[in-house]
Amino acid sequence: MAKRLSTPQLARITGLYSLFERELSSDYIFRGETHDYHEVIMLLDGSLAFTAGESTYEMCAPAAIYHPRMEFHSLRNVGRRTARILIFSFDADLLPDYPKHRFAITEEDIARARRALALIQSSTVETDFYKMGNILPGGERAVQQGICELEILLLSLRQGHAKSHDHSAGATNYKRALRAIEEHLSGTISIASLSEQLHISPSLLKKIFARYAGMGVMQYVRTRKMNEAILRLREGRSVGEVAYSLGYEDPAYFSTVFRRVTGHSPSYFRERP
């Protein structure tokens, strides 16, 4: 009797939000963001500085970085010429357990990503702002082939790691600032209080966040609080309970800020596990 070989699946993409390749000008800065899906950024040419959570990296092509769900991230061009990237963002119910989130990539990896891009772009409706459109009639096979290429790419990323840590004083102070924000997430946070705790001037603190977060200090604080609120709302907590737990005395004002930052009401996330 023939022996059956079991075939475990280690990567399975269940939905695609974006897939595109673009060139970044020498002065390009991407304002930081957080989103509820995974993302891989492949650096095909040039040099970029990445912020991922409390870590900062400067990376040269060819390399890639993986951002898990709800990880704050930003990037900027640190070279004297244009850079080129290929990005895909996605949902997945199976992913490799990456020990690190930075990778050295090969020409084969780049070719595979571009094959996926060609297959999927040719079979979906073109949309603005790099978002995915609907599948064209008869395009299902090509889209599935493109998804398979991306899943193989996710598996191949396990094979190498790019060394890229930023050990500058600015990066160190940025990490200290994020940890201080985490310590006081349930209370009131101000630029003055953070500066005093870190023993740096308010102006330097603002410059550090502009460089590494791509946004102002208080905008980052609001974004971080709202991301934490999403997690607590999904646990089934009431809007009032979540508001008070994050330092907001008025749940109505909290709901206003929440909608402004996330684009949704708090109840939207209570109803979506």
Delimit the domains of the chain by residue range.
12-159, 169-270
| Comparison of pLDDT for 50 and 162, the residue scoring more | 50
Q: What's the pLDDT at 4?
A: 74
72-82 tens-digit pLDDT: 999 999 888 99
Tokens representing 34?
A: 């957080």
Q: Classify domain 12-159 at the CATH topology level.
A: Jelly Rolls (2.60.120)
**Integer angstrom CA distances of residue 211 from 173, 208, 218, 253:** 12, 5, 14, 30
| Comparison of pLDDT for 270 and 54, the residue scoring more | 54
Average pLDDT over residues 184-194: 94
Asked if residue 161 has pLDDT above 60, the reply is: no
12-23 tens-digit pLDDT: 999 999 999 999
Asked if residue 137 has pLDDT above 80, the reply is: yes
Mean of the per-residue pLDDT values of the chain: 90
Q: What's the pLDDT at 245?
A: 95
Measured distance CA(143)–CA(120) in Å, rounded: 5
Q: What's the pLDDT at 79?
A: 83
Beta strands 38-45 and 63-67: pairing type?
Answer: antiparallel
What is the band of 48 on the pLDDT scale with cuts at 50, 70, 90? very high
Homologous superfamily (CATH) of 169-270 is: Homeodomain-like (1.10.10.60)
Total-model pTM = 0.82
Average pLDDT over residues 47-51: 93
Q: How many CA atoms lie within 13 A of 180 on its CB side?
A: 21
Q: What's the pLDDT at 164?
A: 61
